[in-house]
Structure 1
Amino acid sequence: MTESADAKTVRAPNVLVMGVGSSGSRAVAAMTSLNPELDAVAIDTDTKVLEAIGMKNRIHVGATITRGLSSGGDVELGRQSIEKDSSNIRKQLRQVDLLVIVAGLGGGTGSGALPVITRIAREAGALVLTMVATPFKFEGAKINRIADEAIKRLRSHSDAIIRIENERLVDRSDADLPAEQAFARSHQVMMDGIFSISRLLTRNGVVGLDFACIHTMLRNCDGFCNFASADGAGDDRAKTVVETLLKHRLLNKGRMLEGAAGAVIGLTGGHDLRLSEIDDVMTQLQEKLPDEVWLNFGVAVDPAFEGRLSAIILVAEQWKEPLVDHNRQMGLSFNKNLNPGQGELLLETTGKGEFTNSDPTIHNNEDLDVPTYIRRDIKLPR
């Protein structure tokens, strides 16, 4: 194969970050202000929110349903708004390999729209990582119930769901924390996670952590994936990173590592990153992980991180080999066939062809154009 042919065959994965609803849109807008190169889009029913965030790539949905206002906490209005403008969503997903959806749950647009968007993304063949912030307890039982129900629906079409529990991000010691800062914490966690994943997939690494690795992690984690990140600077940066991760609230102060079924660890540093620092971080984290854990790690070099060290860890609480590979990223097959006597039944969904941009046939909140085994998440035996 010639060099030109190789260049056509191998390409960097296309990652799109999609903010949905007012909370998700604001979070993604903050990300793009820090990293203008981030491929991102904001989606909401509220025209005031979309105008205020100042993003160029934004989609107003449900104009004839909410008339430019928010969905007012009505989940059904959020669902209808996305269904009505689903063709615009499909256009955004052309050539997307990994879709990262960012939203706050408990409201109408995020909770109602996300299950529809994840379904459309899976139909388009994208790997779907959903990153959602769940409500504080004081927001009320109804809001929390809406969030819980949304997560149940998201499981049908998300490859993995990262739950950022606002309640876990604060504790009694934060009682005097300004309300604005408390709510902003989940946005900061989302930004850290997306920037870290983006760096690992797009920067040259001294130890490879590629799209196939992330793909394997997400498709085997059985629905939920936990996330934490940490940064350190100076001579003790490796020690700082480890201590931060082992005390991280989103990892239940390190206890989630002890029962992890799978983990992806990514480190980013400058050209001054030493092998001894990589060894220190990986050794101490592996001491907390079970011996049989599925583990992969990568190291990316970024000149902007001179004098600094950043770490991200994705943790799967469960690990389940899927019978059916729903994902078709970049035409690659990730079934390594380690046991010649067993294998996966690879049923391909090639899309709708010339009908890709047609409105779906919806009945009882189900897209009848999607095969039943995918629509109802039925595992097919060989």
Structure 2
Amino acid sequence: MNFDMPVNRSSIIKVLGIGGGGSNAVNHMFTKGIKNVDFVICNTDSQALTNSPVPVKIQLGASLTEGRGAGNKPAIGREAAIENIDDVIEVLSNNTKMVFITAGMGGGTGTGAAPVIAKAAQELGILTVAIVTIPFRNEGQRRINQAMEGIAEIEKYVDSLLVINNEKIREMYGDLRVSEAFSRADDVLAVAAKGIAEIITVHGYINVDFADVETVMNNSGVSIMGSATATGPDRAMEAVQEALNSPLLNDNNIEGARNLLINITSGSEEATMDEIGEITDFIQSCAGEDADMIWGNGVDENLGEALCVTVIATGFETNSIPELYVRKKQMDKIPLDKQFTPEEQSRAEEQTGFEVREKKTPKSAESNVISQRTIEFDLSDTTTPVKSNTDPMEQSMEVRRAADRVKNIKRNYEQMRELNMNHRERQSNIEDLENQPAYLRKNIQIDDSKPSEEKRVSKFSLSDDAEDGGVKLSDNNRYLHENVD
């Protein structure tokens, strides 16, 4: 049976850039290249759409803004997205299983339109991941406040939210030119989308597919991610440590994550089992033993001798980026023209009833004459018995515990003393062994005669008999006897 694979079919993964910041990031990803994903940009600025190399473009709010942008007003961006939401739904309905929504928060289009598009994707049953940025501090407090409100809004409609703080990029790379600073931010967004997408699209020996990613990221809330590449003999540990210090990990801490997704990619020098074990053990120790881990291994020849580690941590019990939450004032609105029923009126009167009390004024003093009197003190010693609050049984238990502690201390002291004595004896024995020859220790007597004075006659065949005046054959040589046996 033969199967025909579909050709030129739309990818199941789409990357949407919303607004100016999101579109710039998607343009950067499109130029850099991410395997087997479709790119789409959505913007109110017609000029930015014209200059983009991405083929699929959606203009938001053409009649509302007339192609001039949202003017840094999130409300305009939201209305523009609502105006053209059908165009977005048409693109997402074409074989889409997962969508990345990238946006720079703080402006008009990205802040206002991204939550609307995320809500539409969620209603289509698509796994929705938002990758958004917090503005640089020098962009102004107003943009930062708008960004916080936009992030709090988009979090309601996404399965997973990755937040990148641009200010942390500045802390890591120092004082950069404006174009370089925003290029670094685009790089980080591209690494985030590429790291997650290619876990699915690039096949490996131990493959991680869309179902694994969906298990980790579905309804996971705020997530943190890191990716890094390293070379050399310690490339495994260097890559995983650098990944956990990535700008994508806003607080550099994956402790408490319930789910971990790890992708290890190597080039011409394939990763070894020891390297993979070193990476997974290190991440597991950082996240905790209760975290469930899914890991995959693939090959990318473009890496050469380098090793790339991508870590995604999700399922935190508390928000991993606490500065995102904007505290809202709790207000109960009560309409002044509301008509109350007699029962509600009586209940309200009972709740708001009050009591009038007569104010009491102190009586004026009859006279202001100051009288003098003598105060006597009793100097006799009195002893007040003090009752002990301690139970006699508890006192006896304390005494026993103290006695046991003393015994333990003495026993430990004797053991240590014995060990020290044995150690000293061993030291002295070693010195004796080194200084005294073995034959003296074993009481073996050795003749001090010189070799020149020794007899040169064999004791088995010859005898040195002085009476005969010479050497003769020995009588006890059994080989010369008549009976040999």
Q: How big is the shift at 1:317? A: 5.4
The partner residue of 1:22 within 20, 23, 39 is 20
Q: Against the structure 1 CA distance between its residues 127 and 247, is the aligned structure 2 distance closer, same or farther, given a 3 Å change threshold?
A: closer
Between the aligned partners of 2:3 and 2:179, the Cα distance in structure 1 is 52
For residues 137-167 of structure 1, the C-alpha deviation after alignment (integer angstroms, 9 at most, x for no partner) is: 2322221121111112112210111001112
Q: Against the structure 1 CA distance between its residues 249 and 63, is the aligned structure 2 distance closer, same or farther, given a 3 Å change threshold?
A: closer
Amino acid aligned to 2:24:
R
Sequence identity percentage: 29
Residue 41 of structure 1 corresponds to which residue in structure 2?
A: 40
Residue 143 of structure 1 corresponds to which residue in structure 2?
A: 143
The correspondence of residues 57-136 of structure 1 with structure 2, limited to 5 A, is 57-94=56-93, 95-136=95-136
Give 4+ residue runs of structure 1 displaced > 6 Å after superposition: none
For residues 63-98 of structure 1, the C-alpha deviation after alignment (integer angstroms, 9 at most, x for no partner) is: 111111111111111111111111110111022000
> TM-score scaled by structure 1?
0.76
The residue matched to 2:257 in structure 1 has which SS?
coil
For residues 287-330 of structure 1, the C-alpha deviation after alignment (integer angstroms, 9 at most, x for no partner) is: 2220111221111222323322111111125159xxxxxxxxxx
Q: Against the structure 1 CA distance between its residues 252 and 107, is the aligned structure 2 distance closer, same or farther, given a 3 Å change threshold?
A: closer
Between the aligned partners of 1:47 and 1:199, the Cα distance in structure 2 is 31
For residues 249-280 of structure 1, the C-alpha deviation after alignment (integer angstroms, 9 at most, x for no partner) is: 443574x1233332211111125312222222
The correspondence of residues 1-382 of structure 1 with structure 2, limited to 5 A, is 4=3, 14-35=12-33, 38-94=37-93, 95-171=95-171, 174-221=173-220, 223-251=221-249, 254=252, 256-270=253-267, 272-273=269-270, 274-316=272-314, 318=316
Q: How big is the shift at 1:239? A: 2.8
RMSD: 2.4
Q: Relative contact order (C-alpha < 8 Å, sep 6+): which is higher? A: 1
Q: How big is the shift at 1:205? A: 1.5
Is 1:13–1:98's contact at 8 Å kept on the other side of the alignment? no
Between the aligned partners of 2:52 and 2:200, the Cα distance in structure 1 is 27
For residues 38-63 of structure 1, the C-alpha deviation after alignment (integer angstroms, 9 at most, x for no partner) is: 41011101011112222211111211
Amino acid aligned to 1:265:
I
> TM-score scaled by structure 2?
0.60
Is 2:60–2:84's contact at 8 Å kept on the other side of the alignment? yes
* 232-241 or 11-20: bigger deviation: 11-20
The residue matched to 2:310 in structure 1 has which SS?
strand
The residue matched to 2:63 in structure 1 has which SS?
helix
Between the aligned partners of 1:193 and 1:260, the Cα distance in structure 2 is 18
Q: How big is the shift at 1:231? A: 0.8
Amino acid aligned to 1:78:
G
Q: Against the structure 1 CA distance between its residues 242 and 175, is the aligned structure 2 distance closer, same or farther, given a 3 Å change threshold?
A: closer
Give 5+ residue unaligned stretches, structure 2.
319-485
For residues 196-235 of structure 1, the C-alpha deviation after alignment (integer angstroms, 9 at most, x for no partner) is: 22221012222232211211211242x1001111011344
